[in-house]
Amino acid sequence: MSLSTATLRTQLDAVGEICGQPNRVLLAWSGGRDSTVLLHLLSCWAKDTGNELIALHVNHGLQNGADAWQAHCDAQAREFGVALQCFRVEVGNEGLGLEASARKARYATLQSAVEPGDWLLTAHHQDDQAETVLLNLLRGSGIPGLRGTAACRRLGTGFLIRPLLNVAGQAIADYAAERSLAWIDDPSNADQQFDRNYLRGTVLPVLQARWPQAARSLTRSAAHATEAALLLDELAHGDIDSCGSAERLSISAMRALSAARQRNLVRTACRILHVQSPPFHQMHAIQNELLNARCDASPLVIWPGGEARRYRDHLYLMATTNSLSVATGLLSRDQPRSPLAGHQGVLSLNWSDEGGIREGTVVAGLQLRFRAGGERIQLAGNGRRRRLKSLFQEAGVVPWMRDRIPLLFAGEELVAVGDLWIAAEYHEPRGFSVTWEQKPALF
C-alpha cells in the first residue's frame, strides 16, 4: 500500500464506521521515524477534518539522551502545530525483562491518558506485524498468537488503532525521506540481544532476499489466523454457555467435549476472566488430572498469573490467590467502600429499604477482617448461634474461599459475612445492605 494523507483518511474512515467518530485522536509518539511519519500524516488529516489531535510522548529515562529526545519532540510538535503531552515513567523490574517492562509501563501510561471515545494510534506497520507473527511462531503460539497485532481493539474507554499495518516499512522510509522529516534513532533498536531486533536486523532481510513478499505474506497469514480465532471464539462461547459460566464450569459437561474443545474453552474463559492462559503442561494437567479427579478431591493446578481448582463437579479458573490484606480495614457511613487485595473485588455498604445492618452500628464503624477460626453467627429464624465452618459447608461455599470471605465486626461481635448473611441481632427492615462487587465465585 502506498502512503499518503488520502490513504490514511480511507483507513480512518473505515475505523470510524466500526468505532464511531473519535472524541480525540491521540498518537503514541516516540520521536522515531515511523511515529513521526504518522504524526505528519495525522497533522494534515486533522486540519482537513477538524479532529483534535494530541501527540503523547513517554520518557522512560532508560537512555542517556532521553531528555534530549523529549526536547526534540517538543520542538517538532510546535513545527507541526500539534499539541504534545509528555510523561515520565519509572520502569520497574517485574521479572519480565527490560524490553517487556518498558512496554508495560508505556502502555499503562498511554491508557491512563485515554478518555471515553478517544482513539489512540500507534505506528506499527507491515514489517512489525511480520516480526510479531514470526516471534509467536518461534514461541509455539497457537492461533490467537498467530493473529499478530490487532488493527483495532478496545483500550479502556477508547480504542487502540494501528492504521499502518498494511503499509511496508520501506514505504514509510520513502515518505520520510521525500519530505525531509527529522526523527530520532533509538540506539537500543540496533541491540540484537533482543529477539525482535535480531529478527528485524538479521532474519527478515535474509527471508526477504529470497522471498521479497515475505512481510506481506506473513501479514496475510495473520489475517487468516484472525478469522480462525474468531470462529474458535464463537465456538468457545457456546461451549461456555453449555457448561455454566466462565467463573464456574460444569466438569460433567466439559468431559462430553473433545480435548481440543476443552482447551479452547479454558483459554477463552481465562481471557473473559482476565487471567493468564495456562501454558502447555498446565493445560494438560487440567485435562488429565483435574477433570478426571474424584468428585471429593480438591486438585489444584497453578501457573504464573493463574490457577485452576475443582470443587465437586465444577471447575474454577482464577487469578493466583495470595494476600488477604485490605486497603482499609474500616467501613462506616462516611467510608462505605473497601477494596480487597488479591483480585477479590470491593466491599461496600449501601442504604436499603429492603433490610440491612442497623444504622447506628454502621455509623459507629465496622472492622473488616477475615476468618481466623471459631467464628459464630445467629441468623434470622434460627434460635442458636452457628459456626461459620458449618454454614459454609452447608451452603456449598468452595473451600479456598472460606478464609477469604470478608467479615464485618462491631468490636468482637460478628455482624456480617460478606454479602451472604447478616447477624439477626444487627438486622433491621431498613438498613445498610452489604454489596460485594467483582466477587469471585463462591459456590
- The predicted-structure confidence for 240-261, as pLDDT tens digits, reads as follows 999 999 999 999 999 999 999 9
Share of the chain above pLDDT 70, in %: 95
pLDDT cut 90: percent of the chain above it:
70
Q: What is the pLDDT of residue 93?
A: 66
Average pLDDT over residues 16-29: 93
Q: Each residue of 134-184: pLDDT tens digit?
A: 999 999 888 988 999 999 999 989 999 999 999 999 999 999 999 999 999
Mean pLDDT, residues 309-322: 88
User: What residue type is assigned to position 96 of the chain?
Assistant: L
Contacts of the segment 228-232: beta carbons below 8 A, 24+ positions apart = 228/143, 229/143, 229/144, 229/147, 232/143, 232/264, 232/268
pLDDT at 285 over 70: yes
Confidence grade of residue 297 (pLDDT, cut at 50, 70, 90) = confident
Query: Does 326 score more than 50 pLDDT?
Result: no
pLDDT band at 57 (very low <50, low <70, confident <90, very high): very high
Residue 342 confidence (pLDDT) above 70: no
The answer to the question of whether 35 is labelled as a binding residue is yes
Beta sheet of 421-422, edge-to-edge order: 330-331, 366-369, 407-410, 413-417, 421-422
Annotated binding-site residue? 342: no
Torsion region of 296: left, alpha or beta (phi above 0 gives left; psi -120 to 50 gives alpha):
alpha
pLDDT digits (tens, 9 = 90+) for 117-133: 999 999 999 999 999 99
Query: Do 59 and 69 contact (CB within 8 A), yes or no?
Result: yes
Query: Would you say 32 is a known binding-site residue?
Result: yes
Domains of the chain: 5-210 (3.40.50.620), 235-319 (1.20.59.20), 329-437 (no CATH)
- 30 among the known binding-site residues? yes
Q: What is the pLDDT of residue 107?
A: 85
pLDDT tens, residue by residue, 201-220: 999 999 999 999 999 999 99
Please compute the mean of the pLDDT values over residues 325-330 and round it to a whole number. 58
Residue 53 has pLDDT above 70, yes or no: yes
* pTM to 2 decimal places: 0.73
Q: What does the pLDDT look like over 82-104, one tens digit per residue?
A: 999 999 887 776 656 667 777 78
Cell numbers of 177, please? Answer: 525521506
Q: How high is the mean pLDDT of the chain? A: 90
Assess whether pLDDT exceeds 70 at residue 392: yes
